[in-house]
Amino acid sequence: MEFINLKKQYELLRPDLMAKLDQIMSEAHFIGGSEVVELEDRLAEYVGRKHCHSCGNGTEALQLAYMAYGIGEGDAIFCPAMTFIASVEPAAMLGATPVFCDIESDTYNLSPSSLLEQIERVEREGNLKPSAVVAVDFLGNPAHFDEIAEICADRDLLLIEDAAQGTGASYKGKRCGSFGDIACTSFFPSKPLGCYGDGGAVFTDSDEVATLIASLKVHGKGLSKYDNVRVGMNSRLDTIQAAVLLAKMNLLDGEMAKRQQVATRYFEAFDGKIQTPKISEESISAFAQFVLIAESREQRDAIVAAMKDAGVPSLIYYPKPLHQMKAFGASTAHFPNAEHYAQCNFGIPFSPYITEEEQDQVVSAVLSALR
């Protein structure tokens, strides 16, 4: 059984995709081809943003966002304690200081109350300037953008949406990638919209910021890449990956509908038996992963072992919160929801192409372990 069945998806894409890739190979236009521009236009329209700039990967998308807004030394960047390191790592590399917040116990997303608490603490201490908030659409579940945006507006903070797992998801009728001052996403292969390698994109409605990112992602170019007007980076999406993503976009709406069906079967099967992710009524999750929460680490480990014995793969997503990472000094701060999540979470097989028979096998393995 595949944890995420990309092989089945490729079977559907292969005829048209191979013809397109052969054309790109024949023309030898591997960087900056017309497919890149077409993809950026389609993504901007799909998300509902004025501008989209593709780039090398999701981490670099976030780095471009931080650079575009001048984030650096002395800035406090507020981020959920439970997310992938890339959400805040580029800010730290630029000299800023990550300030972690707890997550909600049921949605696994950034807790607005914890965010406000941490902002007020930093303001009282006076050592850092509160500058930006990174709201993550964790596991494809949209963050509570109304509350978070209100906090940012009251404190004049930059709001960055980390939509790396959120392509296809929506909150109150708006698609993920359209929230905040700027949004970033990843096209890592396991994402709801993934390429066959690394890739990412930045979304903004600001003409000025879009122009700056266009320069920053190509070595700080001015009139050309040989006219460098600022220090930038090298972060471009290859033409081949753009072609892959264009082909996958043709399947995206259908896959999102199927993801809802697969999730519904899991919700019904596990109702009252083990904790499932909470999706608010105003949200549609992309279900980048489907993560269950056991009552304890011991119970989680027993379930995972039973799944393995039954031939069902699993994934701990993620095993350690950021505030406990050595990279950030292994803080003694206590974020109970993030810590409980880390100790008790396990992901189960999920994709638009999982069969009902495979789902039944997953459910049986988990429930048998619980019994």
Give the start-to-end residue ranges of the domains of the chain. Answer: 6-100+109-246, 251-370
Q: Which own/partner pairs from 144-147 qualify as long-range (CB within 8 Å, at least 24 positions apart)?
A: 144/107, 144/109, 144/110, 144/112, 144/280, 145/171, 145/179, 145/180, 146/172, 147/112
Q: 251-370 adopts what CATH topology?
A: Aspartate Aminotransferase, domain 1 (3.90.1150)
pLDDT class for 331, splitting at 50, 70, 90? confident
Angstrom distance (rounded) from CA 314 to CA 307 = 7
**Tens of pLDDT along 101-127?**
999 999 999 999 999 999 999 999 999
pLDDT tens, residue by residue, 216-275: 999 999 998 899 999 999 999 999 999 999 999 999 999 999 999 999 999 999 999 999
User: What CATH architecture applies to the domain 6-100+109-246?
Assistant: 3-Layer(aba) Sandwich (3.40)
What does the pLDDT read at residue 225? 86
Query: CA-CA distances (angstroms) from residue 146 to 35, 328, 356?
Result: 35, 29, 36
pTM of the model: 0.96
Question: Is it the case that residue 330 has pLDDT exceeding 80?
Answer: no
Mean of all residue pLDDT scores within the chain: 97
